[in-house]
Amino acid sequence: MKAIVINENTLGILIKRDIYQILRASILKGATSNANEGWQFIFRLDKVRQATTQDFKNFRVDYHEDYEIA
């Protein structure tokens, strides 16, 4: 499972090429969705990068070794 950061405000897991599951979203950083909304689509204008262990710390989510990170 590839962990990603979307628009620097959402930590998620890539499900398919353009679909992800939210692990944590920060409305303080500008997120408009939350983890209770299920799967989300990645749009063309979204900035997406592979997550790091620091991202898991920043979003206060426990890292698991099954997550593929940068």
- In the chain, how many domains are there? 1
Could you read off the pLDDT of 24-70 as tens digits, one per residue? 999 999 998 877 777 889 999 999 999 999 999 999 999 999 999 98
Print the domain residue range for 30: 2-58
Q: How far apart are CA 24 and CA 9, in angstroms?
A: 9
User: Has residue 13 been placed in a domain?
Assistant: yes
DSSP label of 43: P
User: Has residue 17 been placed in a domain?
Assistant: yes
State pTM to two decimals: 0.90
Query: Residue 37 has what pLDDT?
Result: 77
DSSP label of 29: G
User: Has residue 29 been placed in a domain?
Assistant: yes
User: Has residue 24 been placed in a domain?
Assistant: yes
Query: Residue 10 has what pLDDT?
Result: 96
SS3 54: helix
User: Has residue 48 been placed in a domain?
Assistant: yes
pLDDT higher than threshold 90 for residue 6: yes
User: Has residue 69 been placed in a domain?
Assistant: no
User: Has residue 49 been placed in a domain?
Assistant: yes
Query: Residue 49 has what pLDDT?
Result: 97
